[in-house]
């Protein structure tokens, strides 16, 4: 009997397009002899559209876009009628969603309430990992080294902009990185070298979130590592990102062919050990399960800072996370299988 898999993709998120690419790649890599694959497309407005189980992998992104016919679909009926008899295992939900309303614990909460197994991180880890301020506070408590930062609410900023800018300038020295607290793919992120750029960066970041984070900018190499597992997480090799752009912005991530991903990264063994330890600590303190990609900065002097974790990292075959695993001996289809197994394992432990 084939295991039923429901793929959730698209999503009400500024990372909708990134999720679409991930979904296309996953659909093509899933073993259709082993799984019955049902796509559920979430529109940019947040409508859920389910279609029949696929007969075979789709070839084009367009084939994954389904227009909603009804005004709204109820999520419970979406996942229901999937059991043909009582002995059948429940379907596994694969939330291939990045950013808000998907990577942030909201969809995970829905799946918990429906008592369905799903791939990846649970509610708490997803939510804490999505909010850079909460994440950094937890990391600080765990003693993980990271850059200084200031968190600002839109409300505070609207009350007295000058006061907020001064506060930031007292705490940090230019350049800064201004980011929406909850997002990814570098959307809404700007580097600022002076007050003028700071003001512009605030306006942009506040378009995406009511809370932003201002971080001390550092000169450093960017090193990333993959972690998979539940109670016993394991690390991949490390990779380095060398963007041609000023920093690893949205364009450098998805449009530039000039951004180099160097795997394995050429770093000293002890730096690799430090990164592995920090990544495992991050995984544990956020109570992660399934997978994360942890992003680091390594300075010229070999100091290692954690930047962030991503609880549903970019997942196309040319994304960093799958490439790191490929170089660690786990190819793309095996990685997907493993993540599904880990989701089922965690679900069974809770029953």
From the CB of 179, what's the least distance to ligand ATP, in Å? 6
174: contact with ligand ATP by CB under 6 A: no
307: contact with ligand ATP by CB under 6 A: yes
Residue 22 vs 38, nearer CB to ligand ATP = 22
From the CB of 217, what's the least distance to ligand ATP, in Å? 4
**Residue 217 interacting partner from Mg ion, ligand ATP, none (CB closer than 5 to 8 Å by kind):** ligand ATP
From the CB of 139, what's the least distance to ligand ATP, in Å? 13
Q: Of residues 224-283, which lie at the interface with ligand ATP (CB under 6 A)?
A: 247-248
Residue with the shortest CB distance to Mg ion: 184
308: contact with ligand ATP by CB under 6 A: yes
Binding residue for ligand ATP, selected from 184, 229, 239, 290, defined by CB under 6 A? 184
345: contact with ligand ATP by CB under 6 A: no
Pair 125, 36: CB distance under 8 Å: no
From the CB of 1, what's the least distance to ligand ATP, in Å? 37
Q: Of residues 293-332, which lie at the interface with Mg ion (CB under 5 A)?
A: 295, 308, 310
Q: Which residues are within 8 A (CB) of 69 and not within 5 positions of it... i.e. 6 or more apart?
A: 49
From the CB of 98, what's the least distance to Mg ion, in Å? 6
Residue 73 vs 222, nearer CB to ligand ATP = 222
**Residue 186 interacting partner from ligand ATP, Mg ion, none (CB closer than 5 to 8 Å by kind):** ligand ATP
The window from 18-26, 50-58, 183-191, 226-234 that contacts Mg ion (CB under 5 A) reads: 183-191
Binding residue for Mg ion, selected from 184, 229, 243, 290, defined by CB under 5 A? 184
Residue 108 vs 190, nearer CB to ligand ATP = 190
153: contact with ligand ATP by CB under 6 A: no
Residue 4 vs 15, nearer CB to ligand ATP = 15
What angle do helix axes 269-285 and 132-141 make, rounded to 10 degrees? 110
From the CB of 126, what's the least distance to Mg ion, in Å? 11
**Residue 224 interacting partner from Mg ion, ligand ATP, none (CB closer than 5 to 8 Å by kind):** none
Report how far residue 18's alpha carbon sits from residue 284's, in angstroms, rounded to the nearest whole number.
27
3-state secondary structure the chain: CCEEEEEEEECCCCCHHHHHHHHHHHHHHCCCCCEEEEEEEECCCCCEEECCCCCCCCCCHHHHCCCCCCCCCCHHHHHCCCCCCCCCCCCEEEECCCCCCCCCCHHHHHHHHCCCCECCCCHHHHHHHHEHHHHHHHHHHCCCCCCCEEEEEHHHHHHCHHHHHHHHHHHCCCCEEEEECECCCCCCCEEECCHHHHHHHHHHHCCCCCEEEEEECCCCEEEEEEEEECCCCEEEEEEEEECCCCCCCHHHHHCCCCCEEECCCCCCHHHHHHHHHHHHHHHHHCCCCEEEEEEEEECCCCCEEEEEEECCCCCCCCCHHHHHHHCCCCCHHHHHHHHHHHHHHHHHHHC
Binding residue for ligand ATP, selected from 38, 100, 126, 186, defined by CB under 6 A? 186
The window from 3-11, 44-52, 116-124, 177-185 that contacts ligand ATP (CB under 6 A) reads: 177-185
**Residue 53 interacting partner from ligand ATP, Mg ion, none (CB closer than 5 to 8 Å by kind):** none
| Strand ranges of the sheet holding 190-192, from the earlier edge strand across to the other edge | 149-153, 211-216, 176-180, 190-192
* Residue position matching structure tokens 């597992």: 229
Closest CA to 42 of 76, 17, 77: 17
Residues contributing to the site for ligand ATP (CB under 6 A): 147, 177, 179, 183-186, 189, 215-218, 222, 247-248, 295, 307-308, 310
């Amino acid at each position: 009997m084939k295991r039923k898999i429901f793929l959730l993709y698209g999503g009400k998120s500024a990372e909708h397009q990134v999720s679409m690419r991930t979904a296309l790649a996953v659909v093509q890599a899933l073993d259709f002899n082993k799984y019955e694959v049902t796509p559920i497309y979430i529109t940019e407005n947040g409508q859920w559209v389910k279609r029949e189980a696929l007969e075979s992998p789709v070839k084009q992104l367009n084939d994954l876009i389904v227009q909603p016919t009804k005004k709204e679909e109820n999520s419970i009926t979406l996942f229901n009628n999937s059991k043909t008899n009582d002995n059948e295992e429940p379907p596994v939900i694969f939330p291939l969603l990045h950013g808000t309303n998907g990577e942030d614990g909201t969809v995970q909460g829905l799946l918990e309430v429906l008592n369905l197994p799903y791939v990846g991180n649970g509610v708490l880890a997803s939510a804490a990992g999505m909010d850079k301020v909460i994440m950094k506070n937890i990391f600080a408590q765990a003693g993980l080294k990271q850059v200084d930062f200031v968190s600002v609410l839109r409300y505070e900023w609207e009350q007295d902009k000058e006061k907020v800018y001064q506060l930031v300038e007292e705490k940090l020295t230019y350049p800064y990185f201004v980011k929406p607290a909850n997002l990814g793919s570098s959307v809404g992120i700007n580097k600022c070298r002076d007050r003028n750029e700071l003001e512009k960066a605030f306006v942009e970041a506040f378009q995406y979130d009511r809370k932003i984070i201002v971080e001390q900018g550092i000169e450093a190499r960017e090193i990333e590592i993959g972690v998979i597992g539940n109670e016993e997480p394991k690390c991949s090799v490390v990779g380095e990102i060398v963007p041609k752009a000023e920093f690893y912005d949205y364009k450098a991530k998805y449009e530039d062919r000039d951004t180099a991903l160097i795997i394995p990264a050429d770093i000293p063994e002890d730096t690799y050990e430090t990164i592995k330890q920090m990544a495992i600590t991050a995984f544990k303190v956020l109570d992660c399960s399934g997978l994360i990609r942890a992003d680091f900065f390594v300075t010229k002097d070999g100091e290692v800072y954690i930047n962030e974790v991503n609880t549903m990292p970019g997942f196309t075959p040319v994304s960093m996370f799958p490439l790191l695993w490929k170089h660690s001996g786990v190819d793309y289809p095996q990685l997907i299988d493993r993540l599904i197994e880990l989701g089922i394992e965690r679900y069974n432990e809770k029953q």
